[in-house]
Amino acid sequence: MLYVTVGRDGGHVVWAGWRDPATPGVYLPELRCDAGPYEVEVRQATEGGAWEWPGGALARLLEARLRGRADWQERWDCEVEGVWASHTEPDRIPVVLMHPRIRTEPATPWLQFGIPLPVSEDTPPDQTERLEARLTAADPAPSPRSGEARNGTPSSSAIHGRR
Protein backbone atom coordinates (compact mmCIF):
# COMPACT_ATOMS: atom_id res chain seq x y z
CA MET A 1 0.00 0.00 0.00
CA LEU A 2 1.32 3.42 -0.92
CA TYR A 3 0.78 6.52 1.22
CA VAL A 4 1.35 10.20 0.42
CA THR A 5 0.89 13.50 2.22
CA VAL A 6 -1.15 16.05 0.27
CA GLY A 7 -0.89 19.70 1.23
CA ARG A 8 -0.96 23.29 0.01
CA ASP A 9 2.04 25.48 -0.63
CA GLY A 10 0.79 28.88 -1.71
CA GLY A 11 -1.00 28.43 -5.02
CA HIS A 12 0.12 24.83 -5.41
CA VAL A 13 -1.06 21.43 -4.22
CA VAL A 14 1.88 19.26 -3.23
CA TRP A 15 1.99 15.48 -3.04
CA ALA A 16 5.10 14.56 -1.02
CA GLY A 17 6.45 12.13 1.53
CA TRP A 18 5.56 9.03 -0.43
CA ARG A 19 5.93 5.87 1.66
CA ASP A 20 5.26 2.17 1.46
CA PRO A 21 5.55 0.46 4.88
CA ALA A 22 6.02 -2.92 3.19
CA THR A 23 8.91 -1.66 1.06
CA PRO A 24 11.24 0.67 2.98
CA GLY A 25 13.36 2.99 0.91
CA VAL A 26 10.76 3.69 -1.76
CA TYR A 27 11.49 7.06 -3.29
CA LEU A 28 9.08 8.98 -5.46
CA PRO A 29 9.56 12.64 -6.33
CA GLU A 30 7.35 15.39 -4.98
CA LEU A 31 4.51 16.29 -7.33
CA ARG A 32 3.23 19.87 -7.63
CA CYS A 33 0.30 21.29 -9.53
CA ASP A 34 -1.71 24.50 -9.65
CA ALA A 35 -4.28 24.53 -6.86
CA GLY A 36 -7.12 26.06 -8.93
CA PRO A 37 -7.48 23.33 -11.58
CA TYR A 38 -6.73 20.65 -8.96
CA GLU A 39 -9.60 21.82 -6.76
CA VAL A 40 -11.96 21.93 -9.77
CA GLU A 41 -11.09 18.29 -10.58
CA VAL A 42 -11.53 17.15 -6.96
CA ARG A 43 -14.89 18.94 -6.71
CA GLN A 44 -16.13 17.36 -9.96
CA ALA A 45 -14.97 13.91 -8.84
CA THR A 46 -16.72 14.11 -5.47
CA GLU A 47 -19.98 15.86 -6.37
CA GLY A 48 -23.06 13.75 -6.81
CA GLY A 49 -21.70 10.67 -5.07
CA ALA A 50 -20.65 8.94 -8.32
CA TRP A 51 -17.54 7.71 -6.48
CA GLU A 52 -19.64 5.80 -3.91
CA TRP A 53 -20.68 2.19 -4.29
CA PRO A 54 -24.43 1.61 -3.67
CA GLY A 55 -24.04 0.38 -0.08
CA GLY A 56 -21.89 3.41 0.81
CA ALA A 57 -24.41 5.83 -0.66
CA LEU A 58 -27.27 4.02 1.09
CA ALA A 59 -25.48 4.12 4.46
CA ARG A 60 -24.73 7.84 4.10
CA LEU A 61 -28.27 8.74 3.04
CA LEU A 62 -29.99 6.53 5.62
CA GLU A 63 -27.85 7.82 8.49
CA ALA A 64 -28.68 11.42 7.58
CA ARG A 65 -32.41 10.64 7.40
CA LEU A 66 -32.45 8.72 10.71
CA ARG A 67 -30.46 11.41 12.53
CA GLY A 68 -33.07 13.89 11.32
CA ARG A 69 -35.91 11.86 12.86
CA ALA A 70 -35.86 13.23 16.41
CA ASP A 71 -39.48 12.09 16.81
CA TRP A 72 -38.54 8.45 16.26
CA GLN A 73 -35.45 8.61 18.46
CA GLU A 74 -37.39 10.29 21.27
CA ARG A 75 -40.38 7.92 21.02
CA TRP A 76 -38.18 4.82 21.47
CA ASP A 77 -35.49 6.54 23.58
CA CYS A 78 -32.68 5.53 21.26
CA GLU A 79 -29.91 7.37 19.43
CA VAL A 80 -28.34 6.61 16.07
CA GLU A 81 -24.67 5.77 16.62
CA GLY A 82 -23.95 5.13 12.98
CA VAL A 83 -24.79 3.44 9.72
CA TRP A 84 -21.88 1.81 7.93
CA ALA A 85 -21.09 0.08 4.70
CA SER A 86 -18.19 -2.25 4.06
CA HIS A 87 -16.58 -3.42 0.84
CA THR A 88 -16.30 -6.85 2.47
CA GLU A 89 -20.09 -7.06 2.92
CA PRO A 90 -21.53 -5.08 0.01
CA ASP A 91 -24.97 -6.67 0.33
CA ARG A 92 -25.79 -5.33 3.82
CA ILE A 93 -25.39 -2.30 6.06
CA PRO A 94 -25.66 -2.26 9.85
CA VAL A 95 -27.58 0.46 11.67
CA VAL A 96 -26.21 0.80 15.21
CA LEU A 97 -28.39 2.33 17.93
CA MET A 98 -27.89 3.13 21.60
CA HIS A 99 -30.57 2.95 24.30
CA PRO A 100 -31.27 5.06 26.27
CA ARG A 101 -30.51 8.23 24.32
CA ILE A 102 -29.33 10.15 27.36
CA ARG A 103 -27.75 8.53 30.41
CA THR A 104 -27.72 10.95 33.33
CA GLU A 105 -26.35 8.42 35.82
CA PRO A 106 -23.38 6.10 35.22
CA ALA A 107 -25.37 3.23 36.77
CA THR A 108 -28.17 3.57 34.22
CA PRO A 109 -28.41 0.34 32.19
CA TRP A 110 -27.62 0.79 28.50
CA LEU A 111 -27.75 -1.30 25.37
CA GLN A 112 -26.05 -0.91 22.01
CA PHE A 113 -27.65 -2.91 19.25
CA GLY A 114 -27.32 -3.35 15.53
CA ILE A 115 -29.91 -3.89 12.86
CA PRO A 116 -28.50 -5.47 9.69
CA LEU A 117 -30.28 -4.24 6.58
CA PRO A 118 -30.07 -5.66 3.07
CA VAL A 119 -28.70 -3.65 0.15
CA SER A 120 -30.77 -4.27 -2.98
CA GLU A 121 -30.35 -3.38 -6.64
CA ASP A 122 -32.73 -0.42 -6.22
CA THR A 123 -31.27 3.09 -6.29
CA PRO A 124 -29.87 4.29 -2.94
CA PRO A 125 -32.54 7.04 -2.62
CA ASP A 126 -35.34 4.48 -3.18
CA GLN A 127 -33.79 2.07 -0.67
CA THR A 128 -33.30 4.88 1.83
CA GLU A 129 -36.96 5.80 1.74
CA ARG A 130 -38.09 2.19 2.11
CA LEU A 131 -35.64 1.31 4.90
CA GLU A 132 -36.33 4.50 6.85
CA ALA A 133 -40.06 3.69 6.77
CA ARG A 134 -39.36 0.12 7.89
CA LEU A 135 -37.10 1.16 10.77
CA THR A 136 -39.27 3.99 12.07
CA ALA A 137 -42.55 2.05 11.95
CA ALA A 138 -41.88 0.12 15.18
CA ASP A 139 -39.69 -0.20 18.24
CA PRO A 140 -36.17 -0.83 16.90
CA ALA A 141 -34.97 -2.65 20.04
CA PRO A 142 -34.00 -6.26 19.49
CA SER A 143 -36.05 -9.07 20.91
CA PRO A 144 -34.25 -11.31 23.42
CA ARG A 145 -33.90 -14.03 20.77
CA SER A 146 -32.84 -11.87 17.82
CA GLY A 147 -29.12 -11.79 18.60
CA GLU A 148 -28.84 -8.16 17.52
CA ALA A 149 -27.54 -6.82 20.86
CA ARG A 150 -23.88 -5.80 20.61
CA ASN A 151 -22.90 -4.32 23.96
CA GLY A 152 -24.49 -3.24 27.18
CA THR A 153 -24.40 -3.23 30.92
CA PRO A 154 -25.02 -6.50 32.76
CA SER A 155 -28.42 -5.18 33.80
CA SER A 156 -29.36 -4.38 30.20
CA SER A 157 -31.40 -7.60 29.99
CA ALA A 158 -34.41 -5.60 31.17
CA ILE A 159 -33.93 -3.27 28.23
CA HIS A 160 -33.21 -6.15 25.85
CA GLY A 161 -36.57 -7.72 26.64
CA ARG A 162 -38.60 -4.52 26.70
CA ARG A 163 -40.82 -5.39 23.73
- Residue 16 three-state SS: strand
pLDDT at 156 over 60: no
- pLDDT score at 112: 86
The whole model's pTM is what?
0.65
pLDDT band at 147, cuts 50/70/90?
Answer: very low
Q: Encode 70-91: b = buried (16+ Cβ within 10 Å), e = exposed.
A: eebbeebebbbeebbbeeeeee
- The DSSP element (H or E) to which 24 belongs, if any, is none
Task: Say how far apart CA 116 and CA 59 lie, in whole Å.
Answer: 11
pLDDT interval class at 155 (50, 70, 90)? low
Check if the beta carbon of residue 116 is closer than 8 Å to that of residue 92.
yes
Distances (CA, A) of 103 to 73, 108, 110, 142, 149: 14, 6, 8, 19, 18
User: CA 18, CA 26: separation in Å to the nearest integer?
Assistant: 8
By the 8 A CB rule, do 152 and 158 touch? no
- Give the pLDDT mean for 53-71: 93
Q: What percent of the chain has pLDDT over 90?
A: 48
pLDDT, tens only, 80-137: 999 999 989 989 999 999 888 887 788 888 888 888 999 999 999 999 999 999 999 8
Average pLDDT over the chain reads 85
pLDDT bin (cut points 50, 70, 90) of residue 163 is: very low
User: Around Cβ 103, how many Cβ atoms within 10 Å?
Assistant: 13
